[in-house]
Amino acid sequence: MDESWPTHGWPDAAYCREKAYLERALDIFERDHPQVRVVRMRPAFLFKRESASEQRRIFGGRFLPGQAARPDLLPFLPDIPGLRVQALHTDDAAEAYRLALRTEVRGPFNLAAEPAVDAGLLGEMFDARPVRLPRTAVRSAVAAAWNLRLLPASPHLFDAVLRLPLMDCTRARTELGWRPERKATEVLREFLQGLRSGDGGPTVPMRGRTVG
């Protein structure tokens, strides 16, 4: 989908409501200040090696098993119908911002690296066998872990991810001249290396910590 895709988001997820609110705030600002050039970036899931520890805490929690950092050791990869996402390295996202500052463009830009990530791709990356699991069973497990305070990511966020459209980034390529330097597979490998080594940043939210 291109940038004209509605930005309402999945209403049950707080994360989506926050993003939708910001889109509406920018709508109003653009309407009231037409003389100001407003550029909106809509990146895919952003990763880098140094963000691994923080993102593990946000989405996986302290009980995330050590095998999560070594998908090649897992007996199988869950294949959930409709679950496919896009990824992007933070350096490639930053380059899009730099180009927008130097180019007289306005409006929204989708940002994502190829290819889209699904169970089939992950299976090829880690030589693991995808096993089809029903959505309802996985959601029930996520909801149970959420209610038991074992998982920080809510089942509503799981619902939202299942409904994400795949973004068309043609506008960023043609109007900004933007091209991500890293493929999505490279981004994921770097992130997993960060998980294994407990990489982080110098601030408390970004502090490093190994898994398990």
Secondary structure in 3-state letters for the chain: CCCCCCCCCCCCCHHHHHHHHHHHHHHHHHHHCCCCCCEEEEECEEECHHHHHHHHHHHHCCCCCHHHHCHHHCCCEEECCCCCECEEEHHHHHHHHHHHHHCCCCEEEEECCCCCECHHHHHHHHCCCEEECCHHHHHHHHHHHHHCCCCCCCHHHHHHHHCCCCCCCHHHHHHHCCCCCCCHHHHHHHHHHHHHHCCCCCCCCCCCCCCC
pTM of structure: 0.89
Q: How confident is the model at residue 202 (pLDDT cuts 50, 70, 90)?
A: confident
Express each pLDDT in 150-194 by its tens digit: 999 899 999 999 999 999 999 999 999 999 999 999 999 999 999
In this prediction, residue 102 carries a pLDDT of: 95
Over range 119-126, report the average pLDDT: 91
Q: Please give the pLDDT value at position 28.
A: 98
**CA 80 – CA 131 distance, rounded (Å):** 8
pLDDT given at position 72: 65
* pLDDT-above-70 percentage for the chain: 92
Per-residue pLDDT reduced to its tens digit, 39-60 = 999 999 999 999 988 888 888 8
The answer, yes or no, to whether the previous bond of 78 is cis (omega within 30 of 0) is no
Integer angstrom CA distances of residue 175 from 48, 93, 109:
26, 15, 9
Which residue has better confidence, 32 or 65?
A: 32
pLDDT tens profile 67-81: 566 666 677 888 999
pLDDT of 69 reads: 62
> In this structure, what token pair is assigned to residue 52?
């691994």
Which pLDDT value is given to residue 200? 86
Split at pLDDT 50, 70, 90, the class of 66 is: low
Please report where in the chains the tokens 């959601």 appear, as a residue.
139
> Distance between CA atoms of 162 and 78, rounded to whole angstroms?
14
* Residue 65 binned pLDDT confidence (cut-offs 50, 70, 90): low
**What confidence tier does 120 reach under pLDDT thresholds 50, 70, 90?**
very high
Average pLDDT over residues 94-113: 97
Which of the pair, 145 or 61, is modelled with greater confidence?
145
